[in-house]
Amino acid sequence: MTLNTLGWIIWTIIFLSALSYTFGVRNYVSKGLGIPHATAVQLFFLWAIVLVFRFFSFSKLHILWVAPVCFTASLYLTLAQRVPILTPVVLWFAGLCMEIVLVGVKRPSQQ
């Protein structure tokens, strides 16, 4: 197995994780349950990793360190909220990602 193949396997795992998070969030929201900010940021980071490593020529093996850093950063940015410029920007993009993910989902407040 070549490193390129291993990179695609890792990318596929992250892609499936992003899909799983997406369907989970859609399911929770359709039942009227709230989504924590950390989950929204993690979903944003997962899709960002999927898209960046799919459309740019970075080695997919970098996902092995990017994904854990993004996961840890999502917890820090949402729980500590002490990064003055970065936290609001990331939360805004996470909100935008959530709006895209939730297109077509009937929320109990809309029924």
Q: Which pLDDT band, with edges at 50, 70 and 90, does 78 fall under?
A: confident
Helices (H), strands (E): how many in the chain? 4, 0
pTM value is 0.86
pLDDT at 58: 92
Percentage above 70 pLDDT, the chain: 94
Computed over its alpha carbons, how large is the radius of gyration of the chain? 15
Q: How far is CA 51 from the centre of its chain?
A: 11
pLDDT surpasses 60 at 47: yes
Q: How many angstroms separate the CA atoms of 57 and 28, rounded?
A: 35
Tell me the helix, strand and coil percentages in the chain, rounded to 5: 75, 0, 25
Count structural domains, the chain. Answer: 1
pLDDT at 106: 82
**Structural domain span for residue 43:** 3-110
